[in-house]
């Protein structure tokens, strides 16, 4: 569903330009506000809608199959680690949903170089980083030579 931007809410900050995976949110040169320059390349992924600090971006379902009068609004709150949705049907019915988005603080992931450096033996093995511990089983599985069939069936 292509996005559009409300004139009175957008302050031209460019967060949507920065995040759009399709590179279709641009700043209009005359109005200094954001717009969707290519609605037919919009995946309605809502990345820009979620990123907009002014809640200036909304979605109007694709004209070729979505009748008017609906709305699917979202509020993504990183500090609360939740995402909230409000769905409004064309006939006015509403549904609301809230889901968690993260269980750890933002920025808390360790760099792989913060772990002890791997040994030369580990480098030669089939194990990947943090294995076998992170598999939660004793050892990385391997096909036994007897099991390994060579040949076209």
Partner 1 sequence: MRRRKTVFVDSDILVIGGGMGGCGATYESRYWGRDLKIVCVEKANIERSGAVAQGLYAINCYMGMQWNENQPEDHVRYARNDLMGLVREDLGYDIARHVDATVHKFEEWGLPMMRDPKTGRYQREGKWQIMIHGESYKPIVAEAARKAATEVYNRIMVTHLLMDKARPNRVAGAVGFNVRTGDFYVFRAKAVIVAAGGASHIYKPRAVGEGMGRTWYAPWSSASAYALPILVGAKMTQMENRIVLTRFKDGYGPVGAYFLHLKTYTENAYGEEYESKWQDHTRQLVGDYVDHHPVPTCLRNHAFLEEVKAGRGPIRMVTKEAFQDPHKETVGWENFLGMTIGQAVVWASQNIDPKHINPELTTSEPYVMGSHATCSGAWASGPEDCAPSEYQWGYNRMMTVEGLFGAGDTIGGSAHKFSSGSFTEGRIAGKAAVKYVNDLKGQQPQASEAEIADLKKTVYRPMEHYEVYRNEIVAGTVSPSYLLPIHGLQRLEKLMDEYVGGISAHYMTNEPLLTRALELLGMLKEDLAHLGAEDLHQLQRAWELQHRVLASECVTQHTLFRKETRWPGYYYRGDHPKLDDKDWHCFTLSRYDRESGKWGMEKAPVHHIVD
Of the residues 79, 113, 121, 146, which one makes contact with partner 1 according to CB under 8 A: 113
Q: Which residues contact 13 (CB under 8 A, 6 or more apart)?
A: 53, 54
Strands ordered across the beta sheet of 71-77: 71-77, 82-88, 94-100
Q: State the residue for tokens 């302050």.
A: 11
CB of 92 to partner 1, least distance (A): 10
Rounded Cα gap, residues 98 and 45, in angstroms: 18
When asked if residue 97 is in the footprint of partner 1 (CB under 8 A), the reply is yes
**In the range 46-85, which residues lie near partner 1 by CB under 8 A?**
46-47, 59, 61-72, 74, 76, 83, 85
Which region among 4-12, 27-35, 94-102 touches partner 1 (by CB under 8 A)? 94-102
Give the three-state DSSP class for 120. helix
89 binds partner 1 (CB under 8 A): yes
Question: Which of 8, 30, 79, 117 forms a contact with partner 1 (CB under 8 A)?
Answer: 117
| Catalytic residue IDs | 43
């Amino acid at each position: 569903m292509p996005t559009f931007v409300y004139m009175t809410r957008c302050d031209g900050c460019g967060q949507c330009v920065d995040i759009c995976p399709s590179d279709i949110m641009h700043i209009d040169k005359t109005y200094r506000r954001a717009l969707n320059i290519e609605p037919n390349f919009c995946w309605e992924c809502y990345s820009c809608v979620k990123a907009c600090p002014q809640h200036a971006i909304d979605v109007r379902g694709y004209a070729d199959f979505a009748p008017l009068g609906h709305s699917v609004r979202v509020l993504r709150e990183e500090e609360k680690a939740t995402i909230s949705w409000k769905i409004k049907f064309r006939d006015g019915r509403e549904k609301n949903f809230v889901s968690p988005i993260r269980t750890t603080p933002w920025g808390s992931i360790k760099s792989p170089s913060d772990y002890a450096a791997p040994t030369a033996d580990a480098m030669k093995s089939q194990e990947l980083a943090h294995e076998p511990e992170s598999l939660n089983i004793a050892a990385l599985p391997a096909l036994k030579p007897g099991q390994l069939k060579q040949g076209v069936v």
